[in-house]
């Protein structure tokens, strides 16, 4: 009788030992079997062969493959931008990573309290995550201060070089890389859209946060377009959510015809309040992300943040496979979107010209 002791191959060295020992044992079933089996020495050799072979299997079974651990650091509530979070998951799924199966994601959110970011970043470092995805400039800065060794992937940043996160876009040089929202033409384009929907536009209130990286640059990029259209800009610095209502009061007092919102973490968690105040003030407003229009805002034109967050997963994949952040170029946006909410337009008695509607990527009716 021939016994089949075939075993899975785990390691070339161990497999060679298995093969050699098993051949010795299997040869015992050939001619002159009786003399070999009756030989106590041969019985002991056979037993040792089987023991080594089975122990090898047990040792291999006790060494499961390491599951990568990803940290995610956000400034707001998880409910503030759920589509962006899902975009990260989707991007990972497209690359073969399924949360809870072959990857662990440690989600951390500051819930609008930016002073908590440092504590949360330190927590991710203590957990020894393999890579941190930072959702915006404040989380990136906190992650940078917490570690110089764990790779950090920016889901977006207004000015990575100016913020000190990268030596250059082509070669970041440190432990940070990812996506940038650098698009100098956007601010001017938003002002142009406001001029198209409000032909008599002469004054625009610009809401921003002076402490936000890239804020000054965005404002600077808006000025040439304002000069070209004969529009005066009224900059209103909003450093805290409590300043929002005051800013709308100042915009109305300054006889603004419309509002232009610059990117700011202060605004993200207060979208509904801002949208309601814009309607109450009867001011057409243009925003910088799709979530604003979905929450009742009038219009948005800008970078597709959903696309950026999905693309962040590509960086995570490369890093988990051994790439160094220092060698991965920071990529710029490739997808832009114009979204218009006709319900919001009706609330303030505004008619959107057909030629503007025709250019929209999405119209909410």
pLDDT digits (tens, 9 = 90+) for 245-293: 999 999 999 999 999 999 888 898 899 999 999 999 999 999 999 999 9
- Max CA-CA distance within the chain? 109
26-40, 181-195, 304-318: segment of lowest average pLDDT? 26-40
How many Å apart are CA 180 and CA 264, to the nearest integer? Answer: 15
- pLDDT value at position 13? 44
Is 31 found in the same domain as 86? no
Confidence of residue 206 (pLDDT cuts 50, 70, 90): very high
Average pLDDT, the chain: 87
| pLDDT tens track for 320-362 | 999 999 999 999 999 999 999 999 999 999 999 999 999 999 9
192 and 284 share a domain?
A: yes
99-to-74, 86, 103, 224, 299 alpha-carbon distances in Å:
18, 11, 5, 46, 34
1 is a domain residue = no
Copy the structure tokens of residue 185: 């033409």
Q: Do both 100 and 166 map to the same domain?
A: yes
Question: 346 and 315 in one domain?
Answer: no
Tell whether the model's pLDDT for residue 23 goes beyond 60: no
- pTM over 0.85? The answer is no
**Average pLDDT for 230-257:** 96
- Asked whether residue 231 falls in the same domain as residue 354, the answer is yes
Check whether residue 170 and residue 202 sit in a common domain.
no
Q: Break the chain down into helix, strand, coil percent, rounded to 5.
A: 45, 15, 35
**Residue 205 and residue 266 share a domain:** yes
Res 5 pLDDT > 50:
no
- Label residue 2 by pLDDT band (50, 70, 90): very low
Which tens digit of pLDDT belongs to each residue from 88-124?
999 999 999 999 999 999 999 999 898 999 999 999 9
Domain count, the chain: 3
Is the predicted pLDDT of residue 313 greater than 90, yes or no? Answer: yes
Residue 23 resides in a domain: yes
Instruction: Check pLDDT > 70 for residue 298.
Output: yes
Cα gap 285→298, rounded to integer Å: 6
Q: Tell me which of 267 and 37 has the higher pLDDT.
A: 267
How far is residue 266's CA from residue 293's CA, in Å, rounded to a whole number? 17
* Domain region containing 27: 12-61
Q: Is residue 4, in this structure, part of any structural domain at all? A: no
């Amino acid at each position: 009788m021939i016994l089949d002791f075939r075993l899975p191959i785990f390691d070339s060295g161990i497999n060679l030992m298995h093969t050699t020992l098993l051949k010795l044992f299997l040869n015992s079933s050939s001619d002159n079997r009786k003399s070999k089996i009756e030989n106590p020495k041969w019985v002991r050799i056979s037993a040792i062969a089987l023991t080594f072979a089975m122990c090898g299997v047990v040792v291999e079974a006790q060494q499961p493959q390491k599951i990568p651990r990803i940290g995610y650091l956000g400034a707001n509530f998880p409910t503030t931008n759920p589509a962006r979070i899902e975009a990260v998951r989707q991007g990972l799924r497209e690359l073969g990573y399924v949360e809870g199966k072959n990857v662990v994601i440690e989600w951390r959110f500051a819930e609008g309290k930016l002073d908590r970011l440092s504590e949360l970043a330190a927590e991710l470092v203590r957990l020894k995550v393999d890579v941190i995805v930072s959702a915006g400039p404040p989380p990136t800065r906190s992650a940078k201060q917490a570690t110089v060794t764990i790779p950090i992937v920016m889901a977006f940043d207004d000015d990575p070089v100016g913020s000190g996160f990268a030596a250059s876009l082509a070669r970041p040089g440190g432990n940070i890389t990812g996506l940038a929202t650098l698009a100098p033409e956007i601010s001017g384009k938003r002002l142009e859209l406001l001029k198209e929907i409000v032909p008599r536009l002469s004054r625009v209130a610009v809401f921003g946060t002076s402490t936000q990286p890239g804020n000054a640059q965005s404002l600077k990029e808006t000025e040439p377009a304002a000069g070209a259209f004969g529009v005066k800009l009224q900059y209103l610095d909003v450093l805290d959510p409590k300043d929002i209502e005051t800013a709308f009061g100042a915009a109305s007092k300054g006889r603004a015809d419309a509002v232009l919102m610059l990117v700011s973490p202060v605004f993200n968690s207060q979208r509904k309040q801002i949208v309601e105040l814009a309607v109450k003030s009867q001011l057409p407003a243009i925003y910088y992300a799709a979530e604003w229009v979905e929450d009742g805002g009038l219009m948005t034109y800008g970078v597709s943040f959903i696309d950026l967050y999905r693309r962040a997963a590509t960086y995570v994949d490369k890093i988990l496979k051994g790439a160094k952040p220092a060698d991965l170029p920071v990529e710029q946006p490739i997808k832009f979107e114009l979204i218009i909410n006709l319900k919001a337009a009706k609330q303030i008695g505004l008619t959107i010209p057909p030629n503007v509607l025709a250019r929209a990527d999405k119209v909410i009716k």
